[in-house]
Amino acid sequence: MNTVPLLNTADARPLQFPIPANVYAQSVVSVRHYTERLFSFRITRPQSLRFRSGEFVMIGLPNAEKPVFRAYSVASPSWDDELEFFSIKVPDGPLTSELQKIEIGDTVLMRQKATGTLVVDALTPAKRLFMISTGTGVAPFASLLRDPDTYEKFDQIVLTHTCRDNAELTYGQELVASLEADPLIGELTSGRVTLYNSTTREESERMGRITGLIETGKFYSDLDIEPLNPETDRIMICGSMHMLQDVKALAEKLGFKEGSLANPAEFVVERAFVG
């Protein structure tokens, strides 16, 4: 684990290409590497940017005349003065192969519109909210868990985070551990957020894909809770493509209906990462 010190713009590397029109050019404020596969970073926030907690933006780097942009969920809540992102590292990825090398003071490009389906306004109110995530799919839930609106709409929140190895769970663990100390939402979160971790490769207390753990009933017995019920529960899903498809099928099998901003209902999937 490597935490980069605070911003020093004097260390910023010079731009090799001009900034494209109609994009924000923001400075990297901090970078943290969790494993060989995962890192997070924070950038300055444009004053004019508005977004709902749980939405994503398109980000890129000024390293080409026509930069590559990819969808990244904003991990910071809508009220934050900075923007946080949680990313995988892909050695030959068109963007992440270079993005993982960013340093404090470097420039990150961002298109000016935020969007996405993982917003609480796409769900009808209920007693419990289940946030089902794998890998970096925990990022939009990092935003939602730090937003007061989430706690106005739901009494109890269960965040599930499944990764291959234990070290990859650190981001979500630290996120949940920090909630009650948060000066803005700490009192709202007390006793209302439960984290359920599992791994699929490295040995841990809970092994297996979240769909299997739900279907066998182990998920419910581990947490000592009632099974998922569309009358009392809502579900948000973000992660790998196969996981999205499987959890969506599971939700529909249990009688949950997919919601949207136009027609709020009982579960939502982050469609930016499907296919």
DSSP 174-236: HHHHHGGG-TTTHHHHTTTEEEEEEESSS--SSBS-HHHHHHTSHHHHHHT-PPP-TTTEEEE
d(CA 64, CA 72): 19
**pTM for the whole thing?**
0.92
Q: Provide mean pLDDT across the span 90-114.
A: 94
Contact in structure between 50 and 24 (CB atoms under 8 Å): no
Which helix or strand (DSSP H or E) is residue 253 part of? helix 241-253
Query: Above 60 in pLDDT, residue 90?
Result: yes
Query: Above 50 in pLDDT, residue 188?
Result: yes
Q: Are residues 132 and 262 in the same domain?
A: yes
The residues, ordered by sequence, that sit 6+ positions from 152 with a Cβ below 8 Å of its Cβ are: none
Q: Are residues 139 and 91 in the same domain?
A: no
Cα dihedral angle (131, 137, 142, 147), rounded to 10 degrees? -60
Q: Are residues 168 and 207 in the same domain?
A: yes
- CATH number of the domain enclosing 89: 2.40.30.10
More confident position, 15 or 113? 113
- CATH number of the domain enclosing 220: 3.40.50.80
- Residue numbers of the domain that contains 168: 120-273
Query: Above 80 in pLDDT, residue 13?
Result: no
Q: Are residues 103 and 125 in the same domain?
A: no
The total number of structural domains in the chain stands at 2
CB atoms within 10 A of CB 18: 9
d(CA 258, CA 256): 7
Domain stops at, among 44, 78, 111? 111
Query: Above 70 in pLDDT, residue 14?
Result: no
Domain stops at, among 77, 111, 145? 111
CB atoms within 10 A of CB 197: 18
Distance in Å from the first CA to the final CA of the chain: 32
d(CA 200, CA 193): 23
Phi and psi based region of residue 274 (left: phi greater than 0; alpha: psi -120 to 50; beta: remaining): beta
Domain stops at, among 111, 135, 167? 111
Nearest to 40 by CA among 131, 158, 168: 168
Q: Are residues 105 and 177 in the same domain?
A: no
Q: Are residues 144 and 255 in the same domain?
A: yes
Q: Are residues 93 and 229 in the same domain?
A: no
Q: Is 54 helix (H, G, I), strand (E, B) or coil?
A: coil
Predicted local confidence at residue 83, as pLDDT: 98
Q: Is 68 helix (H, G, I), strand (E, B) or coil?
A: coil
For 111-155, what is each residue's pLDDT tens digit?
Answer: 999 999 999 999 999 999 999 999 999 999 999 999 999 999 999
Query: Above 60 in pLDDT, residue 9?
Result: no
Q: Are residues 140 and 261 in the same domain?
A: yes
Mean pLDDT of the chain: 92
Query: Above 90 in pLDDT, residue 15?
Result: no
Q: Are residues 262 and 136 in the same domain?
A: yes
Q: Is 269 helix (H, G, I), strand (E, B) or coil?
A: strand
Q: Are residues 101 and 156 in the same domain?
A: no
DSSP string, 107-171: EEEEES--B-S--GGGB--EEEEEEEEEGGGGHHHHHHTT-HHHHHHEEEEEEEEEESSGGGGHH
Q: Are residues 60 and 85 in the same domain?
A: yes
d(CA 124, CA 239): 22
Q: Are residues 58 and 162 in the same domain?
A: no
